[in-house]
Amino acid sequence: MSMTITEKILAKSAGKESVAPGDLINANVDIMMCHDVTTPPAISMLSEKGIDGVFDADRIVVTPDHFQPAKDIKSAQLLKRLDSWAKRNKIKNYYPVGRAGVCHALLPEQGHIRPGEVIIGGDSHTCTYGAFGAFSTGVGSTDLAAALATGELWFKVPESMKFVLNGSLSTGVYSKDIIIAIITRIGTDGALYRAMEFVGSTIEEMSMEARMTITNMAIEAGGKSGIIAFDDTTKEYLDGRLKNDAPYDVFTSDEDANYLSVEEFDIASLEPMVAIPNLPSNGVTIGECAGEAMDQAYIGSCTNGRIEDLRIAAEFMKGKKVAIRTIVVPATPEIWKQANDEGLLNIFYEANCVVSAPTCGACLGGFMGILADNEKCVSTTNRNFVGRMGHPTSGVYLASPATAAASAIEGKLVDPRKYM
């Protein structure tokens, strides 16, 4: 039976020869990601059932990230509970404050993500890890609790959609522009509970960091997961990095596999994109929104807070001053140190930016960049819903690090190609 890469991974995890869309399966989970927002409720659910242990402490990765360092008493209580639970269960892959980072940047960086595996996390953007040829999806606290206790979780096998991306990126265009264009075409429910499979020459030319930006935002189209097949670029990233040195399984879609639909994109003709408030599907070209005044620029998050993103932003800001409040957040301590060693943080300092320790705070309207009423922010994050980064009347404009940096310099939305 012909299968897609997603179906093959799920079949393996369920111990079946084959699966088809719509099948209900019980899958063995290989890795679970836990953070400070959704894990404490899962701990409470387990405690109510008299369960304190976990199925396998070595297959759980824990990091506070949404409210770290703690911003108030409530967040401090969450961090305390997560910390004591992780220590009590002897979870060795625990990254406490000081080594904690934005989860979806931290896990791949630290070698916890392997091709061919089933990965879940108590966070919607867990789909990021599909960039490594894994089936990876976000779950709620209830499902997280069940998986922590048993190591298993049931799934309905999703239908797959293929996105064929061909052509080299033009100057000033990045993977963030691509995924905004995709979501704009199909809508925020265009891939509802479907596996979004990305293929084509554009993907083949991308770095792993750029690929993670693509899969990270699959959920913004309603996707159950996003996935990119393993290749030499994946292998190069993983070599010498993986915590588990056991052989991993590499799957590819059969040539005659069935897809719900196939969407083709000529990436060579793509221009820089901006998703205007209040949906990620509200994508327009920079030419359609240039000149819109901004109050804040934000460069960071699980979408665009990696070293590649910071290098891009620094290229624009070197020798310049920002015209608006600009916040730069390296996604992990390792990225922070590398940015410092490369002189990027000094560039941001000289440009009058604020540089923060790793945190998800501003992205979800928690702290470190909250917007006041009617303020507008050009942001490299993944969501721009009403009130996402602060006051309900504020507006978030999603863009690439290049567009965000260029716009920070002028205080208004600007075509990054102006500075290239």
Q: Are 197 and 234 in contact (CB under 8 A)?
A: no
5-265 fold: Aconitase; domain 3 (3.30.499)
Distance of CA 414 to the CA centre of its chain: 25
pLDDT per residue as tens digits for the range 160-201: 999 999 999 999 999 999 999 999 999 999 999 999 999 999
Residue 217 Ramachandran class (φ > 0 left, ψ -120 to 50 alpha, else beta)? alpha
275-419 fold: Aconitase; domain 3 (3.30.499)
- Where are the extended beta strands (E) located within 157-306? 159-166, 194-199, 225-227, 261-266, 273-275, 283-285, 296-299
Whole-structure pTM value: 0.97
CA dihedral 27, 28, 31, 33 (to 10 degrees): 50
Give the HSE-up count for residue 134: Cα atoms under 13 Å, Cβ half-sphere: 26
pLDDT (0 to 100) of residue 244: 87
pLDDT (0 to 100) of residue 245: 86
List all residues 6 or more positions away from 206 whose beta carbon is below 8 Å from its beta carbon: 175, 214, 233
Task: Give the residue ranges of the chain where pLDDT is below 50.
Answer: none
- Our CA angle for 11, 15, 20, nearest 5°, is 30
Q: Where are the domains of the chain?
A: 5-265, 275-419
> Does 275-419 match 5-265 at the fold level?
yes
Q: Are 111 and 243 in contact (CB under 8 A)?
A: yes
